Amino acid sequence: MDQEYERRLLKQINHQNLPVGQLAKSGGATCSPLSVKSGDRFIPIRAGSNWCINFHYANENCQSPNHNHRSKDAGSDTGKDTVAYAALLRNELLGAGIESVPNLHTEDRRHTVFSQDTHSLFRYTVHTKRVPFDSGNEVSPYSLSPLSNKSHKLLRSPRKPARKISKIPFKVLDAPELQDDFYLNLVDWSAGNLLSVGLGACVYLWSACTSQVTRLCDLSVDGDSVTSVCWNERGSLVAVGTHKGYVQIWDAAGGRKLTSLEGHSARVGALAWNGEQLSSGSRDRVILQRDVRTPPSAERRLQGHRQEVCGLKWSPDHQHLASGGNDNKLLVWNNSSLLPMQQYSDHLAAVKAIAWSPHQHGLLVSGGGTADRCLRFWNTLTGQPLQSTDTGSQVCNLAWSKHANELVSTHGYSQNQILVWKYPSLNQVAKLTGHSYRVLYLAVSPDGEAIVTGAGDETLRFWNVFSKTRCTKESKSVLNLFTRIR
């Protein structure tokens, strides 16, 4: 060994082993090894490196993306068991002091942040703050278990039962002549557990209780066809939009037509009830609001879209109407003006999928067509966009869960899938496939647990996607005027 190199190495080791007080006294006489510029090598300082933990995380960060993807797609029970086992090993081998099973998504984000901050095992600076070993991790001499106290707390921590969503529909019905048209709305589920479906020129009612099918109306005698159906809130009346621009009101129990409303010059593809008022959107770019109890002359004409109106939804407080059109616009209307109070133009394709959140006042979500593929969330109280995510395919329909802060979206080109999302994290809870055509139609059951989807493959598929257990407590603030009787 070179004598000069050996002298510098011994000098550095002796300097590191000196006490703090002695270093202070000899500070002026002894030069720090970090300030030595001579020599042909640089020796890293390893005094502040925790080799076990660094090596453990380095192996985790070097895992392939495919492995991480598989771990996320694995069953929820298996994933939680893996995380719990990993936490137990960290406690026993590395003294991590974990007392509860961490969340899968939180754990992934924490590892991502760590991988961004730590690029190698070697550190060339000594940390001034070192984490002391937790005495609570030590095993009591009187304990019969080899595990530490922290590990006992980890194993005793309550585990939230995982909700399993079946990826197979529990019922499939044939729906011949169900049109493969993005701009139509031909399926709706009533509060009385009746499913209305527009097939060609006819509207059929299917009872979820008895599985009995009845034909409500046949428009072929007038040379017309069904373009939209929508139940009122009580489930007693069903509105039927036609290709010729008529809106018919039918009594479901009696099987008779109550009235036929005129006013549109083209097909009516979107309908939405608000109490006794009925809003209809048409290819003639006009939205008509009419009270079914008054003469047809008493109507409100809302003109704001430049192309066909293909989506209509009233807010849960009955104060605002959201409309989407083929002009890529999302408009929000109120009851006191004929002009839209808000206009959102961020979508790059037709906006048919619209849904108001039943859990957060003023929260609106919309989905774009093939050229957009995005879910966008809006705060209609302030008029500001909140967040968005690219779904990868055409968004055809949206619906919120009645009991949890989750929503479901159906998609067309090119994946024809059904996605369940957690809000506001926008984590995918489930991905359902089975339709061979675009999933253009969606309706939620009255109990809020099941959904029915329809596609151009002429099938209706029923899925159990939502839990009936309320996951989050609703806000009962006295400032929320829409949840209190005044």
Percent share of the chain, pLDDT over 70: 72
* Rounded mean pLDDT, 285-293: 92
pLDDT greater than 70 at residue 53: no
> Does a cis peptide bond (omega within 30 degrees of 0) precede residue 424?
yes
Strands (E) in 342-417, as ranges, are 342-344, 351-356, 363-368, 374-379, 384-390, 395-400, 406-411
Closest-CA residue to 235 (of 467, 452, 443, 450): 443
pLDDT of residue 44: 61
Token representation of residue 162: 């995982």
H/E element, 25: helix 20-25
Rounded Cα distance, 184 and 180, in Å: 9
pLDDT greater than 50 at residue 143: yes
pLDDT of residue 55: 52
Token representation of residue 294: 């008054």
In this prediction, residue 104 has a pLDDT band, given cuts at 50, 70 and 90, of low
> Does a cis peptide bond (omega within 30 degrees of 0) precede residue 228?
no
Token representation of residue 457: 């493959």
pLDDT digits (tens, 9 = 90+) for 216-272: 999 999 999 999 999 999 999 999 999 999 999 999 999 999 999 999 999 999 999
pLDDT of residue 129: 45
Query: What is the DSSP code string of 409-443?
Result: EEE-TTT--EEEEETTTTEEEEEE---SS-EEEEE
CA 356 vs. chain centroid, Å, equals 13
* Rounded mean pLDDT, 379-389: 93
pLDDT greater than 60 at residue 19: no
Closest-CA residue to 365 (of 427, 322, 418): 322
pLDDT digits (tens, 9 = 90+) for 436-484: 999 999 999 999 999 999 999 999 999 999 877 654 444 444 444 444 4
In this prediction, residue 87 has a pLDDT band, given cuts at 50, 70 and 90, of confident
pLDDT greater than 70 at residue 56: no
pLDDT of residue 336: 87
pLDDT digits (tens, 9 = 90+) for 320-356: 999 999 999 999 999 888 999 999 999 999 999 999 9
* Rounded mean pLDDT, 141-151: 76
Strands (E) in 200-298, as ranges, are 202-207, 213-218, 226-231, 237-242, 247-251, 256-261, 268-274, 277-282, 286-291
Residue 395 class from Cβ within 10 Å (0-12 exposed, 13-18 middle, 19+ buried)? buried
Token representation of residue 166: 């079946």
pLDDT of residue 323: 96
* Rounded mean pLDDT, 16-32: 48
pLDDT greater than 50 at residue 117: no
128: Cβ contacts below 8 Å, ≥ 6 apart: none
Please tell me the total number of residues recorded for the chain in this structure.
Answer: 486
* Rounded mean pLDDT, 89-101: 79
Token representation of residue 395: 């968004």
